[in-house]
Amino acid sequence: MIVDTVTGIFVNGKWKTSNHGKTFEVNNPATLEKIAELPYGGGEETREAIDAAKAAFPAWSELTGRERSTYLYNAYHLMQERKEKLARLLTEEQGKPLKEARGEIEFAASFLLWYAEEASRIYGEMVPATKRNKRLWVVPKPIGVVAAITPWNFPAAMVTRKVAPALAAGCTVVLKPAELTPLSAIEIVKIFEDAGLPKGVLNMVAGNPEEIGEALMESKDVRLVTFTGSTEVGKLLIEGSAKTVKKLSLELGGHAPFLVFEDADLNLAAEQALASKYRNCGQTCICTNRIYVQSAVKEEFTRILEEKVSKLKIGNGQEEDVDIGPLINESGLKKVKDQVEDALSKGADLYTGGSQWSGENGYYYEPTILANVTEEMKIMSQETFGPVVPVMAFENEEEVISKANDTDYGLAAFLFTNDLNRAITIMEKLDYGIIGINDVFPGTAEAPFGGIKESGMGKEGGHEGIQEFVEMKYVSIGLQNGKQ
């Protein structure tokens, strides 16, 4: 597919080229073919975008929530109309199977709808004073210009999950999409343009991450950076934010444990492990990264999982029946190979997979299960971001809770059991921001998504998600009525 997009720089309602004429390529990870060449935005374009967002802020933030929601409803309907084209483009630039890309576009649209609804529900508070001549108000205000930095693994949904609540709250935005997958973001910005969004309210700069990042962090006008990506870059942003004391909302890496107890429905657990581990070729931040199975059922669970894995079809995601597409790029593939080689060299057993798949040109790797793993293997502590899962046996609850929590990450954890007491007790002891009990799909527009520890800070989705973009102004009023 040749893409009709020519630029990923959108400033003050206009699509433009880069100031220095540099370009970058977007390639299809399933075929390695070039699908687009875009202007390479940098610091200058970013400063222009910030200025446009700053100029648009007063008028946008003065609108009522209901007025702002109209644009979000319009964008939602346009996204529904364009969903098939968007899904195909998403697969083209990112590699995920078409059925998953369609699911992502639905997910992306759900944030537009949810925050269209939430726009008129941002409440303040009237605090009862302890003095009779005082009135104390807490008044919500949009935080100002927001920078939204999005990743390549969900090139559409992570854009709307950030942009929709920001706009609903009355903020204006500079969006920086991942340079590997800017095309979906461009189409979403076009949707907002067609939805009639006033110029300058949403701007975008695709291009050089370091330069754009630096310009965003140095600007006194950018008051919040909302970021999804690696813990490594998240830490750079934390450092950068000190210069101007910016607020940050960070959704970073994860290393999700998947716990299977002997009383669990093993077929359901294996089905869900398959979905959690291998969707998006293992490239989601809440992907299962390590499976712990109670020893009495380990062999049976692993056999069922292996049987299901053997039925997965690898290939170009544009083919309707493909289950596993390519990894995003060469370094993603290298990391996966390295973790598997490391585990095998330290004594792990290969249940299935274990090799690069060469049926096509792209960055493919076979869905893989490793057994007899130990804590010293890289895969047990490093985020894998690929279609490989280690399975380890455990004996009792205390042991598995300690193993599950033994990580710097704290994004998502999953547990499978049919014992209600056990489910609640274990859930309460797991140090994670998101817990799935017999469920590996917790992500939804209505609920707060976010991690603890080195997985980040802040929430996305739910009514909590919009609060990231709101500051509470406290107002103390003294009445001259003679009362104390």
Question: Using CB under 6 A as the criterion, which residues of the chain lie in contact with ligand ADP when the complex forms?
Answer: 149-151, 176, 178-179, 209-210, 213, 229-230, 233, 236
For ligand ADP, the closer CB: 140 or 386: 386
For ligand ADP, the closer CB: 239 or 428: 239
Q: How many CB atoms lie within 10 A of CB 34?
A: 12
Whole-number Å distance between alpha carbons of 338 and 168: 44
Whole-number Å distance between alpha carbons of 8 and 185: 8
Instruction: Name the β-bridge partners of 172.
Output: 145
Name the packing angle between helices 65-81 and 182-194 (round to 10°): 120
Checking phi first, is residue 229 left (phi over 0); if not, alpha (psi -120 to 50) or beta?
left
Q: How far is the CB of 404 from ligand ADP (least distance, A)?
A: 23
Of 171, 281, 285, 287, catalytic: 285
For ligand ADP, the closer CB: 230 or 381: 230
Q: How far is the CB of 383 from ligand ADP (least distance, A)?
A: 9
Instruction: Report the residue closest to ligand ADP, judged by CB.
Output: 213
| Angle, vertex CA 9, rays to CA 19 and CA 156, nearest 5 | 155
For ligand ADP, the closer CB: 85 or 243: 243
For ligand ADP, the closer CB: 103 or 209: 209
Which residue intervals of 21-121 are DSSP H helices?
Answer: 43-62, 65-81, 83-94, 98-118
The structure tokens 């950030």 sit at 162
Checking phi first, is residue 74 left (phi over 0); if not, alpha (psi -120 to 50) or beta?
alpha
Q: How far is the CB of 226 from ligand ADP (least distance, A)?
A: 11
Q: How far is the CB of 73 from ligand ADP (least distance, A)?
A: 28
Of 92, 104, 179, 251, catalytic: 251
For ligand ADP, the closer CB: 150 or 203: 150
| Angle, vertex CA 375, rays to CA 371 and CA 379, nearest 5 | 65
Whole-number Å distance between alpha carbons of 361 and 29: 9
Tokens of 189: 């910005």
Identify the helix (H) or strand (E) that includes residue 202.
strand 202-205
Whole-number Å distance between alpha carbons of 328 and 325: 9
Q: How far is the CB of 96 from ligand ADP (least distance, A)?
A: 15
For ligand ADP, the closer CB: 150 or 294: 150
For ligand ADP, the closer CB: 96 or 176: 176
Q: How far is the CB of 338 from ligand ADP (least distance, A)?
A: 15
Burial of 16-28, coded b for 16+ CB within 10 Å and e otherwise, reads ebbeeeeebebbb
The DSSP secondary-structure symbol of 286 reads T
Which amino acid makes up residue 359?
A: G
User: Catalytic site residue 281?
Assistant: no
Q: How far is the CB of 386 from ligand ADP (least distance, A)?
A: 12
Smallest Cα–Cα separation from 156: which of 102, 77, 209, 206? Answer: 102
Q: How far is the CB of 210 from ligand ADP (least distance, A)?
A: 5
Smallest Cα–Cα separation from 174: which of 41, 75, 18, 25? Answer: 41
Could you give the residue numbers annotated as active site?
251, 285
